Every structure is written in structure tokens, then in C-alpha cells.
Structure 1
Amino acid sequence: MVLLLRQGGGRTPRPRTRAQVRNPDVGRALLQRLRAPATPGLRHQQDPAPTPARAPPLLYDGGAQTRCFSFVDDAVAATLLVADSEAAEGETFNVGSDQEWTIAEAVEAVRASVGAGAAAPLDVDTRASLGAAYEDIDRRVPDVGKASRVLGWRWGVPLEEGVARTVAWARRNPWWTEKGAVT
């Protein structure tokens, strides 16, 4: 997640995408981009309802690519710190975890949280199925040092805990998944 704050007395940049939100109640903050933290109860419009108990997850090229997963509670905590910080005015922050997990580890965390009945992943050889032109990003890690230095903020919810909390929420709210797929 990247937060962009308007300069004191300056003009607030106009949001350019649907993901950009302007909330005058948050004060100086303009949420410019939120990179999909794990959020119980929030599904992206283009994503189908999660169905780990019925459909096997796909691992592209073995799932060795690494990503840093963030839980919504951490993103909210950072946003509140930005809103209350004079030092944050006019600054841009990367907010998220800087702990890398492989996609295969993320899939296994979901399978462990879902438990019995979670389908084993299927490996997709991208060269064979998508051709030589397909390129993936092997590693994506945000630099969250500025948020730590200026705001004193650090992410706190590890992948396994965030996944377990999301699955628990989905079990308590079966309307969120297709026909209660997470059981």
C-alpha cells in the first residue's frame, strides 16, 4: 500500500483510479493505492469466491516466486498513524510486510487453515502452457523502512495468522463464499 499525503495548504492530488480513495474525515491522508491486503469479508470484483475445498490451487512454475503478504489490520494501523502524524505531511509511504513467502508457502498456509478436503495444488508449466513470451516477477518486496523510521510503524500479522483469521471469518460468514465452500 502506498499512502500519499497532500502538502499543507496545497492542492490534494485528484484520484485517478477506483482504488484511490479520498476521505476528508481522515484529515491529511489520501489513500493512493492499496495492494490487496488479506481482508476478511472483502472480495475483489474480478476474483471469484474462494473455493479451496473444491478446486485445486494453481502453482505457476512450482510457486517459487516470492511475495510479501499484508493483513488488513496492519494497513489500517499504518493509515491511522499517517493521519495523525505531522511528519507524514507531503510524504509517500510503502506500507506492508517486508517478509517474503513463496507462493507455494502461501498455498500451503491456506490448505493448512482450510484443513481436510483442501485440494492439493496443480503445477502449471508456464513455458508449456503460455509460451516463451510469458514473464513472471520472481520477487516483490516493498521497502517499508520509511514508514518504520517516520511513523514508528511495523507490520505485525504473519501470513499464517492472517490466512487462519481470514478462513475463520469465512467460516463464520458462509454467505461470503459460494455455497459455503470454506467449511
Structure 2
Amino acid sequence: MRSVVTGGAGFIGSHLVEHLLDRGDEVIVLDDLSTGGMANLTRVEDHPLLTVHCGSVLDEATVFAAITGADRVFHLAAAVGVRLIVEEPLRGLRTNIHGTENVLEACRAVGARLLLASTSEVYGKNTADALSEDSDRILGSPLLSRWTYAAAKGIDEAFAHAYWSQYGLDVAIARFFNTVGARQTGRYGMVVPNLVGQALRGEPLTVFGDGRQTRCFSYVGDIVPAIVRLIMEPAAAGQAFNLGGAHEVSILELAERIVEITGSSSPIVLVPYEQAYAPGFEDMRRRVPDNSRAEALVGFAPATSLDDVIREVATDLAKRNDGVPELTLLSKDR
């Protein structure tokens, strides 16, 4: 099996690459290394079945060259992270819309199956209990850069569905809900590595707003096998699937749990959104997935606890960053 992973040097992409290589796939990575890095592929960089192309999904010829001969394509390349989206909206729009169209067209041309990575952001401000894939999208003003990522990924999904309905392209859509794990960086506003890094350095943990906004965090090790099963399931074509965690937690509770698990003496500080981001920033009060569609089709069931995810992120950050004190984590038995 020949698999292409766009964004394969990124956080989720690198875990997927390792998983595919362990399964015996020939894997081609296409990544412009703008947010990912070759360090994420250290464990497999010399693997005989791995080929890495440094290039952008915005380059049509590069995309076609990478995908030619592929059996399946996992399209994970995207401009992600709240801070990046707010500060560089044009970059996000171009990468997430034009890049996806290039990938879709290449997959159509060569007959490759496609898994399109999407996001829970498409639901916007919908705070319903257990969002299903058919739930309404409630977005803020298109003039606020905060919503450009949600808008672009919604267009990506519409493109994918149109390619399926008009051309018969075998494409499934996976909506990720706050995926977390080793190698994720807090550089672009990812909340768990941000807070864990602050705790390890003895800095105040900065929680935006009142901290009562809730999320369901999912572990990358639970997500990756699920998307591989989805791309191989014929019944997944033309559909979207939520892939999220099972435990709802407020960001303030998350920060408190991080302080306890890391043994940090750091205080938790509430920071108004207007100080953290541009004026007019909006956030979602709640985001909880209904995973029943993915569970029914491919047996997706998130199994990793939030505490274990925090431990893994903390261990990974301590290992990768100089100057972090020796790490003593709260044991699983306490």
C-alpha cells in the first residue's frame, strides 16, 4: 500500500506516518515545514519505505508529483492554531482552501482514496450537548479573522463532498476535536502544551476568559488508527465523522489538573481575551462531540484518559526543552 501524508512532519501527521510504516506501507510525506519539522520524524527518518518531499500543497505540480501512484492520501496539511489563524488570516485561507482543492484534483486524477482532515471548528458557536455531524454551524462575522479557519474548513468539506457526488471520488472527512499528545507545540495557541509548558517552567498558567469554557480533548494515539480505518471503509465515502474525546472539562479545571500532575507551584491567572488576542475575539463556550457515527462504522472509542495525555505531553516537553527542571509527575495510582 502506498500512502501519502500531506503535513506528515506535523504533530498528527508524524504519528500517522509512524503508524503507517509500522503497518508496512510505503509512505510519502509532503510538508513545507512551516509549522511541522523533521525532528518529528526522527524515529523513522532512515526508514527504507519513507520518502519526504519538502513542498507546499499550494504548488499544484508538487502535489501531483507526490500523489501520482498513491493508493490513498491523508490530507492533514493546513494552517492551524488560533493564534496563527487570527494573526495571519490570508495564509490560513489560501492554504486551507486552495491547497485542499489541489489535493482533491490530484486524487481524482490518479484514483486515490482520500481522508480529509477537518475540525470541530466547523460547528462554530454551537454549544449543543453532543454535536452530531449534521448539527448546525453557527459562525461569527466573516469580518472577524477568528472565523476564517472554520469558514475555510467548511469550504474544504463542501469541496470534498462535491468531488464525491460529481466525480465519485472516494473521500471521507474526519473532524478532529482538540487532538493532543507528544510533539504538539504551544507556539500557535494549542492550550494543553501551552499550559503544561508554563507549569514546567514555573510560570503562571494563563487561562483566557473566565476559564469556564469546556472542551473534550482527544489523544492522538486514539485518533490515528481511527482515520486509517475510515479511509479503508467504503461506507465512509462522502460522509463526515467526529473524532473526539469522551470527557468534558473546563479550561480552568484542565489547568488545575496540569498543576497537580506536574507538581508545579505555578499560580493560575485569568487573562481577558482582549489582552490575549485582537479586539473582538470570540470563543466557544462548549464543544462536545457525538462520536456514535465513527463508533458504529469503525469502532472508534477514545480510551486514553486526560491525565495520561497530560503526563505524556509533560514528559515530551521536558525531554525536548533545555532548562526544564527534572520532572516528577503525579503517579497514575494517586
**TM-score (norm. length: structure 1):** 0.71
Deviation at 1:80, TM superposition (A): 1.9
Contact persistence 1:74–1:156 (CA under 8 A): yes
Deviation at 1:69, TM superposition (A): 0.5
Q: Secondary structure at the match of 1:67?
A: strand
Contact persistence 2:214–2:286 (CA under 8 A): yes
Q: How does 1:2-41 map to 2 (within 5 A)?
A: 17-18=78-79, 28-33=113-118, 34=176, 36-41=178-183
* Equivalent-residue separation in structure 1 for 2:276 and 2:310 (angstroms): 29
> Equivalent of 1:43, from 180, 185, 190?
185
Moved more, 104-113 or 40-49: 40-49
1:89 maps to a residue whose letter is: A
Deviation at 1:139, TM superposition (A): 0.6
* Equivalent-residue separation in structure 1 for 2:232 and 2:290 (angstroms): 22
Q: Secondary structure at the match of 1:46?
A: coil
Q: How does 1:43-122 map to 2 (within 5 A)?
A: 43=185, 45-47=187-189, 50-52=197-199, 53-115=201-263, 117-122=264-269
Unpaired runs of 5+ in structure 2?
Answer: 1-11, 13-72, 81-95, 119-175, 328-334
Closer/same/farther in 2, CA of residues 181 and 84 from structure 1, 3 Å limit: farther
Q: Secondary structure at the match of 2:284?
A: coil
Deviation at 1:181, TM superposition (A): 5.8
* Equivalent-residue separation in structure 2 for 1:138 and 1:91 (angstroms): 27
Moved more, 31-40 or 71-80: 31-40
1:146 maps to a residue whose letter is: R
* Equivalent-residue separation in structure 1 for 2:114 and 2:296 (angstroms): 18
Identity %: 23
Deviation at 1:93, TM superposition (A): 0.9
Q: Partner residue of 2:324?
A: 180
* Equivalent-residue separation in structure 2 for 1:85 and 1:166 (angstroms): 31
Contact persistence 2:216–2:288 (CA under 8 A): yes
Deviation at 1:125, TM superposition (A): 4.8
Unpaired runs of 5+ in structure 1?
Answer: 2-11
Q: CA RMSD in A?
A: 3.6
1:167 maps to a residue whose letter is: A
CA displacement 1:9-66 (0-9 Å, x = unmatched): xxx9x988446786x8xx6232323555112123255359723232211223431111
* Equivalent-residue separation in structure 1 for 2:321 and 2:77 (angstroms): 31
Closer/same/farther in 2, CA of residues 151 and 57 from structure 1, 3 Å limit: same
Contact persistence 2:177–2:245 (CA under 8 A): no
* Equivalent-residue separation in structure 2 for 1:129 and 1:31 (angstroms): 31
The structure showing larger relative contact order (alpha-carbon pairs under 8 Å, at least 6 residues apart) is 1
Contact persistence 2:178–2:244 (CA under 8 A): no
Q: Partner residue of 2:314?
A: 167
Moved more, 138-147 or 34-43: 34-43
Deviation at 1:121, TM superposition (A): 0.2
* Equivalent-residue separation in structure 2 for 1:17 and 1:168 (angstroms): 26
* Equivalent-residue separation in structure 2 for 1:120 and 1:46 (angstroms): 22
CA displacement 1:125-178 (0-9 Å, x = unmatched): 558998x9554321111232211122221111121121112212333x2xx235
Higher-helix-fraction structure = 2
Deviation at 1:114, TM superposition (A): 1.2
Q: Secondary structure at the match of 1:180?
A: coil
**TM-score (norm. length: structure 2):** 0.42
* Equivalent-residue separation in structure 2 for 1:169 and 1:15 (angstroms): 22
Q: Secondary structure at the match of 1:122?
A: strand
Contact persistence 1:88–1:151 (CA under 8 A): no
Closer/same/farther in 2, CA of residues 92 and 182 from structure 1, 3 Å limit: farther
